[in-house]
Amino acid sequence: MASIFGDRMMLRVDSRRNRLLWDTLSVAEKVPNLQPLGDGANYIKVGGTCEHYGPSDRGTSGNCQTHDHNHWGTAALVRVVQAVADSFSTTYPGYRLRVNDMSLPNGGKFEVDGSWSATADHQEHRKGTNADITLTAYNRTGGEVSLSQRQRTRLWDLISHLVGRRPLDESDRNHYHIQ
């Protein structure tokens, strides 16, 4: 049975009658065809450092990863995130959106606080079909700013139009959630 984590696992198979016959097999548990969100002119990838790590990261110094570690998604999600950022930048030239949590490279359980509980946040990020766009951005001079109400409304409208449904309003957690 597969676990809820995207990782590699070793299977050992023993014969039923003679425990001397056995073999092992390495199997990759992952959501197929996830691709990384590349660098973009109109967005910055954030998160993905020490606060977002998976069980396969245990060998990494301090359990930290680069920003690329949690910015994986289906081809459709990657295109939508890029289109939202490009469209927002057309309306607000020089602004770069901050893209936070998408999915881990293999998909699977994604936990923000490291508790790995069954009821923890970010359950929906395990398949590469969700992304968080923060309600802060970088302005023309490179300073981080909170989006104005007008800018938030524009971002909401862009996501709704490009995705075909409204995002989840998680403004209490400072982001909109694309599904």
pLDDT digit of tens for each residue in the chain (179 aa)?
556 666 677 777 777 777 777 788 777 778 889 999 999 999 999 876 554 444 433 344 444 555 567 899 999 999 999 999 999 999 999 999 999 889 888 887 766 555 555 555 666 788 899 999 999 999 999 899 999 999 999 999 999 999 999 998 888 889 999 98
Please indicate, yes or no, if residue 27 is contained in any of the structural domains. no
- Residue 106, in any domain of the structure: yes
Tell me, yes or no, whether 55 lies in a domain: yes
* Residues in CB range of 79: below 8 A, 6 or more apart: none
- For residue 8, being part of any structural domain is answered with no
CATH, residue 62: 3.30.1380
CB 102 within 8 A of CB 72: yes
Q: Which tokens belong to 103?
A: 């999915």
* Structural domains in the chain (count): 1
Instruction: Determine the angle formed by the axes of helices 149-163 and 75-91, rounding to 10 degrees.
Output: 140
CA 71 to chain centre: 4
CB 31 within 8 A of CB 126: yes
Domain coverage including residue 122: 33-178
Per DSSP, the three-state class of 159 is helix
